[in-house]
Amino acid sequence: MSTGTAPTVSQPTYRDGDFVPTREVPFSSDLDELIAEIRAGRAPNIGRFCGYCSAPIGQEHSCGICGETTDRTPAVDKIDRDLAQIYHAKRKREGLYVHLAAWTGILLATALSILMILLLPGWTKAFAIAFLVLGGYFAGVFFGNVLIQGVAYRAGLNMFARRWSEWRSQS
């Protein structure tokens, strides 16, 4: 399948809709949290990390994310800058999808209530105002949540898989 030039990108693995880390796509939610804390200045970039995928491993001799052992690949004491950038980009990508989805919901609700104002007779136009307020809110929440569970989640992981394999092939 490989073209010989670009690295082969593995697809993220899902079990019952939840992502399962593999050696090919070793996304670590612990590392994700830690990188966010470091970027916010609430944690230092120091610890004991898997030499292959950088997941925090504490005092363990093997990595729970990718399965690498410290005998084969020695642990490292800080997170690679470029890898931290990839984790950060994944978060931003997901946030963008969720915002777009929420705004789509709000705009749809607004368009519907304008339609109601035009079509409803007399005082019943008041329903359109209630719909605008409540409908906009619920549409925003609903679209945002549905998308975070589905599209945004998978889009973020696909992006991570692609950029991780690029990073790995360079280092």
Binding interface with Zn ion (CB under 5 A):
50, 52-53, 55, 63, 65-66, 68
Please give the Cα distance from 9 to 24 (Å, whole number): 8
Please give the Cα distance from 51 to 65 (Å, whole number): 12
Beta strands in the chain (DSSP E): 13-15, 18-20
Closer of 26 and 144 to Zn ion (Cβ)? 26
Closer of 142 and 167 to Zn ion (Cβ)? 167
Closest CB 82 distance from Zn ion, rounded Å: 16
Please give the Cα distance from 159 to 86 (Å, whole number): 9
Closer of 38 and 55 to Zn ion (Cβ)? 55
Closer of 55 and 102 to Zn ion (Cβ)? 55
| Type and span of the H or E element at 92 | helix 81-119
Please give the Cα distance from 136 to 7 (Å, whole number): 44
Closest CB 64 distance from Zn ion, rounded Å: 8
Closest CB 44 distance from Zn ion, rounded Å: 21
Closest CB 18 distance from Zn ion, rounded Å: 19
